[in-house]
A and B are shown apart, each in its own frame.
Chain A
């Protein structure tokens, strides 16, 4: 059991990290041949991080658009952030200063996540426009996230999984000494389900729309400076681009004849 999950754990992590980096590399290296900031846009480079962060931190454009979707999405992401932070105990040998603050009161991040996710799911079902655009993977992802939040909450508050054991296992993974005497895979079923679902999510992450988490930083309409009259840009592929020419008479017959 331990060996199986150690192998799965490392494999998943490798796929996740390599997959995300490959996607980010692809976004980064693809050129933006033209200035297309969504105006009004920052006119100086220092304005751009403010704009991008207002999207990442506050979901500003979504707020402008639709308060219900904003609320659902924001609550979910806040819950997710809290849940990730609350997992710190499994990742650090000793509690880092500051993070223990999050233990001073109970926050039930799993419940916050599920609240947001449930509203997102409901929107897909009851708003005809959302129903129209949803495909299977959209629903499955929401269910997967609900299941992860649900099993996490159950593991913590109802089944009282032995967190010392979980920590030993995780620390073993992190320190690349997974097969130590004390770092056996925790035996509780609810943990097994929670852990497996997280692995599934991480494997799927780089290949799915979840890449919005990284892609949002690469959106040209939001991260470009509005200064095209002052600063000239030319993509490498567009330098010395030959002008399009008419198809010559004799060449016309060739395509479509075979």
Chain B
């Protein structure tokens, strides 16, 4: 102890810039081998509140050059305080959600035990109402009579550098999964508040590296993985060869084929990440067997749209507009979206607003369609056949992705986003088990890596945030021998692949719904 103290004092004390003060965690980030998750007991318990136990969870700051590429200042603006308040006022006028949710929370406490990051980190400021309170403190101080007169008594506070540091930490410990909103008597949506907070921070020069770098990659190269058109073409070709080797059939993965009936848009992770690529094989086999012409597009080689995570309408629209180019080029009749949670929320809920209307597409089909809607329809019509026994090695459960469950729909009926993937899974395997009902469908827990937090500088948070899902999974693993966690989201797949081993579970447990389809589908001649 004495030694380390001595060396510590001898070192030049590093003078931090204001931006670094905001971005640097108060305690060093843990190394992967120092992260020890809770034991799996099959039960989610509500922890005693700790104060500041997760204050150290801060993602890396975005480098100036990438901030500027997105139109944000490269350093903390010297007038950041005034600029932040002005931006807040602007957003309050633009978003009814933000304006109403600032005013009407009564702090009843309903949401306090609902956030996976609170349950996992025990930090009181990760309770949704406390997270929103970081925003409300500032709102009250500058925008309400109550706050101007009563000040701290009403929970109003001046926006200073310390509070900005808390914003940077806790608004990057929200995966915008909207679980809290389900249980709020007024439907207050913390996702809306954390999006606004991140937009304000970007606006004054405080940006998060992981998300902003990816948006830059989309603008510069075309997709989140930064895969250039040549690499994409090569990957698809070699995957086609693998498919032919496996199945003995010429199953295609077409790219940029003008006039194809279906334009398929999927997260770029599907092109080569594991287990994502297994679902890609599923899509290809389904299209092949359905006998429909289809294609990917280099212009829209990414379904994901991280513009949502930073709350930027403009960035979200700019990223989505790549699809407009693709549609003009390919001239498809139908638009189908692959397995991705936030991408489906944006495609389903926002595309029509951002880049619609899709007048050139065939109005007899949904614009856009989810791949699960498409495949289940084929199954129901008998257009493709599934051999359930091909998945007899698996006992399957399904993890509902937050953005699909609470921010979108499939099919024509409310709740189709729950029944359609389940019907598909049940059509492709013999053994299916549901996890605890408090953890599925509209009450599903986030995987712990959504909302732009799928980065290794937040690894501890991701492990902690996965705890509720892991407990629920552990329970069915013990009781029913579940060994396949079916997913419909690229972020969920990447998160679980990384996090499962931390909890002592094999990473091969995580897989896509269309991975099961790929196993079970009967290829070849149709009668």
Chain A residues at the B interface, C-beta cutoff of 8 Å: 23, 26-27, 30-36, 38-43, 55, 59, 61-62, 64-66, 69, 73, 120, 123-124, 127-130, 132-138, 204, 207-209, 211-212, 215-216, 218-222, 226, 228-229, 231-235, 237-238, 241-247, 252, 255-258
Q: Are B73 and A256 in contact (CB under 8 A)?
A: yes
Closest to B75 in A: A256
Q: Is B415 an interface residue (CB 8 A)?
A: yes
Total A-B pairs in contact (CB under 8 Å)?
A: 248
Binary contact track B102-143/A, C-beta < 8 Å → 1, others 0 = 011111111111100000000010010110010000000000
CB distance from B373 to the nearest CB of A (A): 11
Residues of B within 8 Å of A27, CB to CB, are: 96, 99-100, 103
Given known contacts A62-B110, A129-B112, A216-B104, is B187 in contact with A38 (CB within 8 Å)?
A: yes
Q: Are B94 and A39 in contact (CB under 8 A)?
A: no
Q: Are B113 and A241 in contact (CB under 8 A)?
A: no
Given known contacts A69-B108, A216-B185, is B94 in contact with A237 (CB within 8 Å)?
A: yes
User: How far, in whole Å, are A97 and B352 apart by their CA atoms in the complex?
Assistant: 52
A-B CB contact pairs (8 Å), 25 listed: A30-B99, A31-B96, A34-B350, A38-B406, A40-B409, A40-B414, A40-B415, A41-B414, A43-B409, A55-B186, A62-B183, A65-B114, A130-B109, A132-B112, A136-B154, A137-B154, A220-B96, A221-B188, A231-B352, A232-B353, A234-B353, A235-B94, A246-B71, A252-B74, A256-B77
Q: Is B93 an interface residue (CB 8 A)?
A: yes
Residues of A within 8 Å of B417, CB to CB, are: 39-40
Residues of B within 8 Å of A38, CB to CB, are: 178, 181-182, 187, 189, 406-407, 442
Of residues 32 to 75 in B, which have CB atoms within 8 Å of A's CB atoms?
46, 48-49, 51, 68-75
User: How far, in whole Å, are A127 and B184 apart by their CA atoms in the complex?
Assistant: 18
Binary contact track B346-361/A, C-beta < 8 Å → 1, others 0 = 0011101100110000
Residues of B within 8 Å of A219, CB to CB, are: 97, 100-101, 104, 186-188
Partner among A42, A133, A238, A246 whose Cβ is within 8 Å of the Cβ of B414: A42
CB distance from B321 to the nearest CB of A (A): 7
Q: Is B144 an interface residue (CB 8 A)?
A: yes
Q: Are B106 and A212 in contact (CB under 8 A)?
A: yes
Q: Are B185 and A59 in contact (CB under 8 A)?
A: yes
Q: Are B313 and A73 in contact (CB under 8 A)?
A: no
Closest to B180 in A: A65
Partner among B78, B97, B352 whose Cβ is within 8 Å of the Cβ of A229: B352
Residues of B within 8 Å of A138, CB to CB, are: 107
Of residues 434 to 477 in B, which have CB atoms within 8 Å of A's CB atoms?
442
Residues of B within 8 Å of A232, CB to CB, are: 352-353, 356-357
Q: Is B318 an interface residue (CB 8 A)?
A: yes
Q: Are B74 and A123 in contact (CB under 8 A)?
A: no
Residues of A within 8 Å of B185, CB to CB, are: 55, 59, 61-62, 73, 216
